[in-house]
Amino acid sequence: MNAAGPQPLEIAVGNAGSVSALLIRPARARACFVFAHGAGAGMTHSFMEAAAQGLAERGVASLRYQFPYMEKGSKRPDPPHIAHAAVRAAVAEAARCCPGLRLIAGGKSFGGRMTSQAQAIAPLPGVDGLAFFGFPLHPAGKPSDDRAKHLADIEIPMLFLQGTSDKLADTKLIEPVVGKLGRRATLHLVEAADHSFHVPVRSGRNDREVLNEILDAFAGWIGH
């Protein structure tokens, strides 16, 4: 399924100013993913671009957007209240641009966690599912499940796409975290993948194959 090139947008985030966004909407799209970036790289990072294109090929529109700190060229992530405001503004823009489409929200690492926090505080209007590309359960080398406590307050379906070699989400911790969420949560583990979904050569696979695996899992999860 072919999609036109990304459409540039601008989203107002209250007192934090405006941020850039990119919308890809394939013909006959069946959902739109409001796609937040990770802490260290913005919406045009190669992973974000490849994932957005891959989603379009699977009939899923996407709206990628910058957090205010990334828009300003800062390396220090926004405090949660500003990040949450950006998530809400992006969801509202996706609803405006893609009327009638299901809205799924989430993102890569930090972006996914900020989205889940926003949803836990107050449901994101129109969003009926959350998807996380590498949920950052804990800092590297500091195993803990404290960052998952707010997930219990989320009542819509959640998809966790996680590598088994992710140093920010020990498999022995993420499995029980998702298990406690019951039928609301689905965990898809990618063998040997790290937090960036890279796999070692000895795995016999490459990063493109891994990306296709997680995008197929995402597309299957949202249904047809």
Asked whether residue 2 carries a pLDDT value surpassing 90, the answer given is no
- Considering the domain boundaries, does residue 78 fall inside one? yes
Once rounded to an integer, what is the mean pLDDT over residues 51-56?
97
On whether residue 179 sits in a domain, the answer given is yes
Distances (CA, A) of 86 to 12, 37, 56, 98: 8, 12, 23, 18
Average pLDDT over residues 177-192: 97
pLDDT at 223: 85
Across the range 31-37, mean pLDDT stands at 98
Across the range 66-84, mean pLDDT stands at 97
What is the average pLDDT score of the chain?
A: 96
The answer to whether residue 11 scores a pLDDT higher than 60 is yes
pLDDT given at position 4: 62
Give 131's DSSP letter: E
Whether 86 is covered by a domain: the verdict is: yes
- Considering the domain boundaries, does residue 172 fall inside one? yes
pLDDT value at residue 118: 98
Is residue 1 situated within a structural domain?
Answer: no
| Residue in 102, 126, 13 with CA at minimum distance from that of residue 65 | 13
Domains of the chain: total: 1
pLDDT band at 3 (very low <50, low <70, confident <90, very high): low
In a domain, 117, yes or no: yes
Alpha-carbon span 107 to 206, nearest angstrom? 22
Tell me the mean pLDDT in the region 185-200: 97
Instruction: Report yes or no on 37 lying in a domain.
Output: yes
Which band of pLDDT confidence, cut at 50, 70 and 90, is reported for residue 31? very high
82, pLDDT greater than 70: yes
**pLDDT tens, position by position, 129-167:** 999 999 999 999 999 999 999 999 999 999 999 999 999
Say which residue the tokens 């069946």 belong to. Answer: 30
Strand partners for 187: 160
Burial bucket for residue 55 (CB in 10 Å: 0-12, 13-18, 19+)? buried
Per-residue model confidence (pLDDT) at position 73: 96
Short-list 121, 132, 123, CA closest to 36: 132
Reported as type and span, the H/E element at residue 185 is: strand 185-190
H/E run at residue 108: strand 102-108
In this structure, the number of other CB atoms found within 10 A of the CB of residue 208 comes to 10
| Contact status, residue 190 vs residue 214, Cβ threshold 8 Å | yes
Coil/strand/helix, residue 38: coil
Q: Residue 161's domain is classified under what CATH number?
A: 3.40.50.1820
Q: Helical H runs in the chain?
A: 46-57, 68-71, 80-97, 110-121, 171-180, 207-222
Task: Name the residue among 82, 158, 79 with its Cα closest to residue 120.
Answer: 158
Q: How confident is the model at residue 56 (pLDDT cuts 50, 70, 90)?
A: very high
In which domain, by residue range, is 114 found?
7-222
Q: Residue 14: what pLDDT?
A: 92
DSSP 129: E
CB contact at 8 A, 131 and 167: no
Stretch 117-123: mean pLDDT, rounded?
98
* % of the chain residues with pLDDT over 70: 98
Would 2 be classed as within a structural domain? no
The candidate with the shortest Cα–Cα distance to 117, out of 152, 69, 68, is 152
Q: Is 80 exceeded by the pLDDT of residue 80? A: yes
Kindly indicate the confidence band of residue 1, based on its pLDDT and cuts at 50, 70 and 90: very low
